[in-house]
Amino acid sequence: MENPLLTESKLPYGAPPFDQIRNEHYMPAFEQALAEAKAGIDAIVANPDAPDFANTIEALENNGRTLDRISGIFYNLLEADTDDEMQQIAEDLSPKMTEYEMYVSLNEPLFTRIKTVWEQRDSLGLAPDQYKLLDDTYKEFARSGANLSPADKETYGKYVEQLSLLSLQYGKNVLAATNAYTLNVTDESRLAGLPDFVREAAAETAKAKGQEGWTFDLSYPSYAPFMKYSTDRALKRELYLAYNTKAAGGDNDNLEIVRQIADLRIKVANILGYKTFADYAIEDRMAKSPATVNAFIQQLLVPSLPVAREEVARILAYARENGFDDTVLQPWDFSYWSERYKDAHYALNDTLLKPYFRLEDCIDAVFGLAGKLYGLRFEERSDIPGYHKDVRVYDVKDGDGSHLALFYVDFFPRESKRGGAWMTEFRGQSIVNGVEERPLISLVTNFTKPTSQDPSLLTHDELTTLLHEFGHSLHGMMAQGRYGSQTGTNVARDFVELPSQIMENWAYEPEFLQTFARHYRTGEPLPAELIAKVEAAKNYLAAYSQVRQLQFGILDMAWHSLEALPEADTRHFEKAVLAPTAVMPDVPECCISTSFSHIFSGGYSAGYYSYKWAEVLEADAFSLFKEKGIFNREVARSFRDNILSKGSTEDEAVLYRKFRGHDPQPEALLEKLGIISAK
């Protein structure tokens, strides 16, 4: 039987034949692809011709395309539709993939050829994207140990392999811990305060699990509404502790794995000649150094922290005026009382807004926004399979009618999918031998499922999330370049969130909301007074939210600025780091680090600050849309030409200046959030 991962797809645009792919296909496909990729490296090394840009740098860039294609499928499904067998395959595969990566990055004859070309770079007459590819390739090899001694290369390879396995185990533990917990309620009186949509979803979950009553779990659409609306303080405390002690002990314990990962990263940094992992990681980003990052965090934190503490004090005072009989607002109380305060002072809550944000209407609106700004059209394709029955596939057409990308969307939670929301790609854009491959983009979320009574209705936060991930998707869809390593979202980590975060702004624009927000039962448009309340409440708890994000960045930098592993265990180290920025009482059992997947199993190690870095960029960038019009085609064209389509073909700071005409300043974000007054 043919292996669908190793045969050329007969589907339109080379779409993966997900309906034919089975778990047993993965390992044989990877083994063949790895052998082919190694043979390709050997061929580059054995080339008798003098090293040049084409036979060395371009050849390396285009090597291993089968491996890239299979990896794009497997590792994305490992996050979005996994099972125990796939997780075992990933573990078995990890040393093989690491061995190949080491075979390339520590290949002395290959690096000699790269270095020979790099040393001639100024005399080769290269185009700007070629020059940058050459420079990036050389630096990537140097940063991956190519200049190490043979003994150090062997040690470095062992560190990388151990890190890969530990990161996999960390992510596996987080998913298992998330799925292991449920809160089953059979006494209806304990559902007090919960709106119908929360009760109905919990009843559906209970039914699916073969349980009586109502079941809540640690997926965000289940957890967040319970914390926001429930009046049962004891149950909220139980659920909060379960959510915030994920993988912090028990059968799926990450407490020691966190320390092991941090220790290995110190060793990797040291062997490569860096004092800390943060020094190593940030070197090739816009920020360039940990000192710049730490100064940036302080620029935002210093004015935000006192305002955040005032916001929390205001919520506590309100709670005490309205029957709260404790002197301290605990973290499991905050969501409920802050929602009540918001309702009282802005007359705005999710229950009021959700009926106007039917998922299908939001999808149409987001697609329509891309049409107004960039001329894109989205045509659903029933003839192209998704990887799960919930997945829908769209053919994205550019303004001239040409094919731009395939777009896979996967909206609802399930046990086979990790929590959160993300954009990824099964294949990026590139041009090889004069033939262009357009991207295959995927958007994954965990929105509330439709029930037997109601369709999927989004909160305003979820609408914002949809716009955010769609912004990443546009970055991937609009990629234009020769080299896949430079296109789409393959940009500096602290630049990649600009296209996503700028899109969030439209969630607060009346001119956009008026185009689609209709009550799912009556068809009535979202009332103007509710839109005004959305605008008025936009900066509600802005400083609190900002400090919360900055705390994640501080914790990330603390773990990755270590020169030696601390004596304190994971919990105590974390608490000591975060104590100076606390705005809520400490809960001794809780630990962020054990489920902080972004930095311990994702790509944001020493990079979580980039969310705020990009917020500064987008605050400054969106001000141009506000000035010229939020649907202004001229501004959109400039944003597409200078940001979305360019990838990393040029330095990101240069690209930003080309769009905006100047460098951004943190004040732009502080003013937007109302933390400081506009000048």
Cα–Cα distance between 447 and 463 in angstroms, integer?
Answer: 10
* Nearby residues of 362 by Cβ (< 8 Å), 6 or more positions away: 458, 463, 466, 516
Phi-psi bin for 323: left (phi > 0), alpha (psi -120 to 50), beta? left
Give residue for tokens 């140097």.
142
- Torsion, Cα 673 676 678 679, to 10 degrees, reads -150
Q: Are strands 422-427 and 440-444 parallel, antiparallel or unpaired?
A: antiparallel
Please, what sign has the CA dihedral across residues 639, 642, 646, 648? negative
Give strand pairing partners of 430.
437
Angle at 575 (CA atoms; ends 572, 577), nearest 5 degrees: 110
Marked catalytic residue, from 469, 509, 574, 615: 469
Residue with tokens 């797809």: 9
Q: Rounded CA gap, 495 and 478, in Å?
A: 16
Amino acid in position 178: T
SS3 category, 216? strand
Three-class SS state of 213: coil
> What's the angle, vertex CA 466, arms to CA 461 and CA 468, rounded to 5?
90
Which amino acid type is present at position 126?
L
Q: In what order do the strands lie in the sheet with 422-427?
A: 377-380, 392-397, 403-410, 440-444, 422-427
Strands, DSSP E only, in 314-449? 377-380, 392-397, 403-410, 422-427, 430-432, 435-437, 440-444
* DSSP assignments along 141-184, one per residue: HHHTTTTS-HHHHHHHHHHHHHHHHHHHHHHHHHHHHHHH-EEE
Whether 108 sits among the annotated catalytic residues: the reply is no
Strands 430-432 and 377-380 come out as: unpaired
Angstrom distance (rounded) from CA 488 to CA 662:
23
Type of residue found at 128: P
Cβ atoms within 10 Å, residue 60 = 20
**What DSSP character marks residue 507?**
G
279 and 266 Cβ atoms separated by less than 8 Å: no
Q: Would you name the residues annotated as active-site residues?
A: 469
